[in-house]
């Protein structure tokens, strides 16, 4: 028999003592044992993450972190503690096919936080179970990069409401079966944030929160291998600050100061912010721009191994304090780097629970433009599997531009030049390619690399705005791909109503140079009411997406624990996506072209799919006289 061990036996003495003292001081001793058991369970992950990044400083950091953890745990609302329990009993809750997301700016979707609560009925009607509200913590004044320049993480944008309103909204959503998702902007703070102010006032402690340089020597050395995120309106990665009399690392805009994660104090600060958000009732945090956290000379300073160690340590802390909380990685990086955010190797299953499937999104638009699935098949087939305890966030559009993250090797493997194909996609979606019905805008054209990213709503990019008959079918097919991949499909606000680009995007103060605002529409009651009118594009799309969500919820094969594979292509215009579920195979077929396409009937038999049923059309699948199943232009089928 194993000897009776105390939960704190495996902890260093300093850590165990700090936790015991803190717990003794906390009210509600009932939950102490649970806290200690969770600590015992997650300590190795926390320790390994901290030690690999902070070395000898790790133990001191652990003491401070666990003191904060005890405080946060003690302060956690009993309702949320109950949710922790419920989620622990059902750890795969977010992998189920009923999950479906919606992402919006609170003000543009519904005015205020209270307005969002008033539109919960609308969201439920669509089938939403997950609501990502774009950054709403108090930003700097003026241009704040859509809220991604946070001045105070513990306050809400005054136009939207208060922290109490946020807590109330989280509760309302929770009661309606919707999980609240908020951003944690952890690569940078606004120049107006108190840490940056203190740094400028000469406080050395806070100067060490940032990457600052007295002269250009190091910035120049770094620049040699750094890409530019906003070459148009924020060229370079460093900004001179007159008050500080130094160069500051600013990957994004000059008013977004990158924080220095090599400093354990920064880690402790963000852990505490994380606890704050969890205790307000946030159920998923979107780790914004996470790829950029760690800087390394001679590299592009993205996707560095330390990023994953940091995430692992933060994740372990949330398992101890608030296990209902999930992490979602926002790493818009190439396919090879992407899967690491869901955990590879030593970090398997220990980092983010969710990550944006940027690669799928790019491939959907690429297939729709080219009418060809071969590059997508090659790219998606090459992605290593992700841990079965995680899920992708699949999407067609979001609040950002689309960057053509296409791997040159993948392109070459199907006889394309990566560079030429990226160019084609930019031309096509900017409406500059002959015959293209797309009406996108070019975002951040970079003459040095030839890169041009694209802004625009799904409807405008797919040809609805231009009046192309097939536009709606393209938007629906794009969503069918996202809904059929497995994971949580997320609809970008306005896309469910086929909203076109906003022609007046530049009119609002601070938006003038950033055309991403063209696809960040305000939704009026009149816009929403069109959803019930089948004569409108809005009505048809809304109903189509509702049907997709309902079909998805009926197909257990779409559980995210099962991975998607690409089956051999029978036709270059049909992407066959296969999922081997214990209940049998699910074959998703997606005709990405504007013509009728055949799929050989015998291939279904080969997959042991007898009596095939299309879960999307709710109908039997039958071969034609020629022995093929025929797919209409842009038709999707989910065959079980």
Catalytic positions are 288, 330
In this complex, which beta carbon is closest to ligand GLC, that of residue 286 or of residue 319? Answer: 286
Which phi and psi (to 5°) does residue 189 adopt? -125, 165
Q: Nearest-CA neighbor of 305 among 314, 297, 293?
A: 293
Q: List the alpha helices (DSSP H) in 288-405.
A: 305-321, 335-338, 358-370, 374-382
In this complex, which beta carbon is closest to ligand GLC, that of residue 179 or of residue 302? Answer: 302
Binding mask 258-287 for ligand GLC (x = CB under 6 A): ------------------------------
Q: How far is the CB of 185 from ligand GLC (least distance, A)?
A: 6
In this complex, which beta carbon is closest to ligand GLC, that of residue 304 or of residue 358? Answer: 358
Any idea what DSSP says for residue 183?
E
| DSSP structure string for 283-297 | -EEEEETGGGS---T
State the DSSP H helix or E strand holding residue 101, giving kind and residue range, or none if neither.
strand 101-104
In this complex, which beta carbon is closest to ligand GLC, that of residue 35 or of residue 270? Answer: 270
Candidate list 148, 356, 424, 542; residue touching ligand GLC; CB under 6 A: 148
Q: How far is the CB of 475 from ligand GLC (least distance, A)?
A: 22
Q: How far is the CB of 302 from ligand GLC (least distance, A)?
A: 12
In this complex, which beta carbon is closest to ligand GLC, that of residue 43 or of residue 356? Answer: 356
Q: How far is the CB of 137 from ligand GLC (least distance, A)?
A: 12
| DSSP structure string for 464-488 | TTTT-TTHHHHHHHHHHHHHHHSSE
Residues 171 to 190 in contact with ligand GLC, rule: CB under 6 A: 185
Give residues with Cβ within 8 angstroms of 570, minimum separation 6: 576, 598, 599, 600, 603
Residues 307 to 346 in contact with ligand GLC, rule: CB under 6 A: 330
In this complex, which beta carbon is closest to ligand GLC, that of residue 7 or of residue 139? Answer: 139
Candidate list 62, 284, 289, 331; residue touching ligand GLC; CB under 6 A: 289
The region of 141-149, 161-169, 198-206, 415-423 touching ligand GLC under the rule CB under 6 A is 141-149
Phi-psi region of 627 (alpha: psi -120 to 50; beta: other; left: phi over 0): left
Give the Cα separation of 272 and 628 in Å (integer): 59
Any idea which residue has 């409807």 for tokens? 459
Q: Judging by DSSP bridges, how do beta strands 326-329 and 284-288 pair with one another? A: parallel
Any idea which residue has 């041009």 for tokens? 452
The region of 142-150, 174-182, 457-465, 624-632 touching ligand GLC under the rule CB under 6 A is 142-150
In this complex, which beta carbon is closest to ligand GLC, that of residue 283 or of residue 400? Answer: 400
- Tokens, residue 33: 């044992």
**Residue-level length of the chain:** 640
Q: How far is the CB of 329 from ligand GLC (least distance, A)?
A: 11
- Tokens, residue 236: 């370079």
Give the Cα separation of 584 and 350 in Å (integer): 29
- Tokens, residue 451: 């890169």
Any idea which residue has 């304090």 for tokens? 321
- Residue 420 in 3-state DSSP? helix
Nearest-CB residue for ligand GLC: 148
- Residue 607 in 3-state DSSP? coil
Q: How far is the CB of 288 from ligand GLC (least distance, A)?
A: 5
Binding mask 41-70 for ligand GLC (x = CB under 6 A): ------------------------------
In this complex, which beta carbon is closest to ligand GLC, that of residue 148 or of residue 261? Answer: 148
Give the Cα separation of 134 and 147 in Å (integer): 8
Candidate list 7, 49, 146, 431; residue touching ligand GLC; CB under 6 A: 146
Q: How far is the CB of 3 from ligand GLC (least distance, A)?
A: 50
Residues 74 to 93 in contact with ligand GLC, rule: CB under 6 A: none
Give the Cα separation of 197 and 342 in Å (integer): 35
Give the Cα separation of 287 and 62 in Å (integer): 21
Q: How far is the CB of 297 from ligand GLC (least distance, A)?
A: 22
Axis-axis angle for helices 58-75, 32-54 (nearest 10): 150
Q: Is 514 in the site for ligand GLC (CB under 6 A)?
A: no
Beta-carbon neighbour count of residue 161 at 10 Å?
20
Q: Is 400 in the site for ligand GLC (CB under 6 A)?
A: yes
Q: How far is the CB of 301 from ligand GLC (least distance, A)?
A: 15
Give residues with Cβ within 8 angstroms of 85, minimum separation 6: none
State the DSSP H helix or E strand holding residue 199, giving kind and residue range, or none if neither.
helix 194-200
- Tokens, residue 231: 């070459």
The region of 58-66, 143-151, 158-166, 597-605 touching ligand GLC under the rule CB under 6 A is 143-151
Give residues with Cβ within 8 angstroms of 519, minimum separation 6: 397, 399, 455, 456, 457, 460, 492, 494, 501, 502
Size of the site for ligand GLC (CB under 6 A): 9
Q: How far is the CB of 637 from ligand GLC (least distance, A)?
A: 33
Q: How far is the CB of 619 from ligand GLC (least distance, A)?
A: 40
In this complex, which beta carbon is closest to ligand GLC, that of residue 257 or of residue 483? Answer: 257
In this complex, which beta carbon is closest to ligand GLC, that of residue 304 or of residue 444? Answer: 444
Residues 358 to 387 in contact with ligand GLC, rule: CB under 6 A: none
In this complex, which beta carbon is closest to ligand GLC, that of residue 330 or of residue 451? Answer: 330
Half-sphere exposure of 542 (CA within 13 A, CB side): 22
Q: List the alpha helices (DSSP H) in 438-580.
A: 458-462, 471-485, 525-529, 537-553
Q: Is 573 in the site for ligand GLC (CB under 6 A)?
A: no
Candidate list 73, 252, 275, 505; residue touching ligand GLC; CB under 6 A: 252
Q: How far is the CB of 520 from ligand GLC (least distance, A)?
A: 10
In this complex, which beta carbon is closest to ligand GLC, that of residue 145 or of residue 496? Answer: 145
Q: Nearest-CA neighbor of 244 among 288, 279, 196, 282?
A: 196
Q: Nearest-CA neighbor of 397 among 455, 340, 448, 450?
A: 455
Candidate list 145, 192, 372, 495; residue touching ligand GLC; CB under 6 A: 145
Which spans of this chain sit near ligand GLC (rule: CB under 6 A)?
145-146, 148, 185, 252, 288-289, 330, 400
């Amino acid at each position: 028999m194993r000897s009776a061990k105390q939960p704190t036996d495996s902890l260093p003495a300093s850590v165990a003592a700090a936790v015991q003292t803190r717990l003794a001081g906390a009210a509600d001793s009932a939950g102490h044992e649970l806290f200690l058991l969770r600590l015992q369970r997650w300590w190795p992950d926390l320790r390994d993450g901290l030690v690999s990044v902070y070395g000898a400083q790790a133990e001191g950091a652990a003491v401070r972190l666990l003191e904060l953890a005890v405080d946060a745990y003690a302060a956690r609302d009993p309702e949320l503690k109950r949710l922790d329990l419920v989620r622990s009993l059902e750890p795969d809750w977010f992998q189920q096919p009923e999950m479906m997301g919606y992402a919006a700016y609170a003000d543009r979707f519904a005015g205020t936080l209270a307005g969002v609560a008033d539109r919960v009925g609308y969201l439920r009607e669509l089938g939403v179970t997950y609501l990502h509200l774009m950054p709403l913590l108090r930003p700097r004044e003026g241009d704040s990069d859509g809220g991604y320049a946070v001045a105070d993480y513990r306050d809400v944008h005054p136009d939207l409401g208060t922290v109490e309103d946020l807590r109330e909204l989280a509760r309302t959503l929770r009661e309606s079966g919707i999980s609240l998702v908020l951003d944690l902007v952890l690569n940078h703070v606004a120049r107006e944030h108190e840490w940056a102010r203190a740094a400028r006032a000469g406080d050395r402690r806070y100067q060490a929160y940032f990457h600052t340089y007295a002269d250009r020597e190091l910035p120049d050395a770094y620049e040699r291998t750094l890409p530019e995120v906003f070459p148009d309106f924020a060229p370079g990665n460093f900004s001179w600050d007159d008050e500080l009399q130094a160069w500051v690392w600013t990957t994004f805009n000059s008013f977004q100061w990158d924080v220095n994660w090599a400093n354990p104090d920064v880690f402790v600060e963000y852990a505490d912010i994380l606890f704050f958000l969890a205790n307000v009732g946030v159920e998923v945090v979107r780790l914004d721009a996470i790829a950029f956290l760690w800087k390394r000379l001679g590299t592009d300073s993205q996707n560095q191994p330390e990023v994953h160690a940091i995430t692992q340590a933060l994740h372990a802390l949330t398992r101890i304090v608030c296990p209902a909380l999930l992490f979602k990685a926002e790493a818009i990086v190439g396919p090879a780097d992407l899967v690491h955010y869901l955990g590879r190797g030593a970090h398997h299953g220990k980092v983010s629970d969710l990550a944006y499937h940027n690669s799928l999104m790019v491939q959907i638009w690429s297939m729709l433009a080219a009418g060809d699935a071969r590059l997508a098949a090659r790219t998606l087939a090459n992605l290593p599997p992700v841990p079965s305890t995680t899920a992708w966030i699949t999407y067609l559009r979001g609040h950002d531009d689309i960057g053509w993250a296409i791997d040159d090797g993948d392109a070459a493997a199907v006889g394309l030049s990566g560079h030429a194909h990226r160019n084609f996609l930019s031309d096509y979606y900017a409406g500059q390619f002959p015959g293209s019905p797309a009406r996108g805008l070019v975002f951040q054209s970079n003459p040095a690399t030839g890169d041009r990213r694209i802004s625009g709503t799904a409807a405008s990019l797919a040809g609805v705005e231009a009046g192309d008959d097939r536009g709606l079918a393209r938007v629906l097919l794009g969503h069918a791909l996202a809904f059929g991949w497995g994971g949580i499909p997320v609809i970008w606000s306005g896309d469910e109503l086929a909203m076109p680009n906003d022609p007046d995007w530049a009119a609002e103060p601070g938006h003038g140079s950033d055309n991403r605002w063209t696809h960040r529409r305000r939704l009026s009651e009149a816009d929403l009411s069109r959803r019930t009118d089948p004569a409108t594009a809005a009505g048809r799309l809304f109903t189509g997406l509702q049907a997709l969500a309902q079909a998805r919820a009926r197909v257990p094969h779409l559980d995210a624990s099962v991975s998607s594979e690409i089956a051999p292509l029978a036709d270059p215009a049909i992407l066959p996506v296969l999922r081997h579920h214990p209940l049998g195979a699910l074959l998703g077929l997606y005709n990405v072209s504007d013509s009728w396409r055949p799929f050989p009937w015998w291939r279904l038999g080969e997959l042991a799919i007898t009596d095939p049923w299309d879960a999307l059309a709710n109908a039997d699948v039958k071969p034609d006289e020629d022995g093929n199943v025929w797919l209409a232009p842009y038709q999707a089928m989910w065959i079980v």
